[in-house]
Amino acid sequence: MTLKWNSIFHKLHLLSCVAIPPSSRSLHVGQRASLIKAFSRRDVELFGDLTGDTNPLHLDPAYASTTSFRAPVVHGVLINGLISAVLGTKMPGHGCVLLRQEIHFSAPLYIGEKVLAEAEVRKIKMSLAFIAVTCSVKDKVVMKGEVTVMMPEEQQKD
């Protein structure tokens, strides 16, 4: 019986010494994620209430009609929140931390328009992912930029 246990122990010890290649990173260059959302008038009103940004350009159709936009536009930070949703729920996903962003708003997003928020991994360096982001309505880009995120620990394997 002792010989049998020694044999099993020896086999287990050998298995524990076998080099197992590190798992590959689940995030890779070229990977993409997206979501689609249309903001309602109520969404914009709630955002204004939550933040205190009650600029009539966003909330008052009569005022907005006197501007070059001709209608209320969605807050830029609310649009940018879609990128946060893509990063935090889809790619890299739960546990990622937004460290830096550089964004540019190139066109207005009007209430009710369906906006496509997209992210694409451009570079990975150690625990950081450099990601290009865009928000667009059909062929109209309303926001674009780049973000840097710290990946969740389970995605930081080399």
Per-residue model confidence (pLDDT) at position 157: 61
Mean pLDDT of the chain: 86
**What is the reported pTM?**
0.79
158 pLDDT band, cuts 50/70/90, is low
Q: What is the pLDDT of residues 15-43, one digit of tens each?
A: 333 332 333 458 899 999 999 999 999 99
Report the C-alpha gap between 30 and 10 in whole angstroms: 45
Asked if 27 and 130 touch (Cβ cutoff 8 Å), the reply is no
pLDDT at residue 85, rounded to an integer? 96
* Higher-confidence position of 123 and 25: 123
Rounded average pLDDT over 137-145: 97
What per-residue confidence (pLDDT) applies to 49?
97
Cβ partners under 8 Å of residue 73, min gap 6: 57, 58, 64, 108, 109, 110, 111
Residue 46 has pLDDT above 50, yes or no: yes
What integer is the mean pLDDT of 56-83? Answer: 97
Confidence label for 137 from pLDDT (cuts 50, 70 and 90): very high
pLDDT of the residue at 21: 34
Per-residue pLDDT, 18: 33
The stretch 36-63 carries a mean pLDDT of: 97
